[in-house]
Amino acid sequence: MESLAVGDPLIDAQHRAFFDEVGAVVLALADGASRAVVQRFHRDFIISLARHFRDEELLLSRIHYPDLDHHQAEHRALMASVTALAEILASADSLAEMMVVVRNTITTLIEHMALEDMRYRRYVSQPQAERW
């Protein structure tokens, strides 16, 4: 995933952790995890996402990223769509349906990282940033 690194150690660690968390829930689902397990993952994920957005917006303001307003709006929209998945999760009664929720969460996150987070990368100056 080196190609998705933004060059800030904290932000890159948070991005990496999302993939680890999603990987763990995919494995749990493959193992027949209950809805409660997936719901707990979803709740924890929202907490990590809120913390990440806050840290990322602090970084963007520190580096005077010119498109911060747009990026914040994207974060708000992403948070709304991930939060809305809780309802689908609450009524999902099969592993397949829960897998759809997890897949939507991953897709939404990857799209944001690839399309939006990559746009601020060139403003981050951390030459010896940890690579992944």
- H/E stretch holding 15: helix 9-30
Question: Cβ 10 to Fe ion, closest distance in Å?
Answer: 11
The encoded tokens of residue 71 equal 């990026």
By CB under 5 A, residue 8 contacts Fe ion: no
Q: Which residues contact 112 (CB under 8 A, 6 or more apart)?
A: 74, 78
Question: Cβ 76 to Fe ion, closest distance in Å?
Answer: 11
By CB under 5 A, residue 12 contacts Fe ion: no
Binder among 44, 117, 124, 132 for Fe ion (CB under 5 A): 117
Other Cβ atoms closer than 10 A to 97: 14
Tell me if 47 sits within 8 A of 70, measured CB to CB.
no
Nearer to Fe ion, 58 or 86 (CB): 58
The stretch among 23-31, 49-57, 89-97, 121-129 that binds Fe ion (CB under 5 A) is 49-57
Residues that bind Fe ion (CB under 5 A): 56, 117
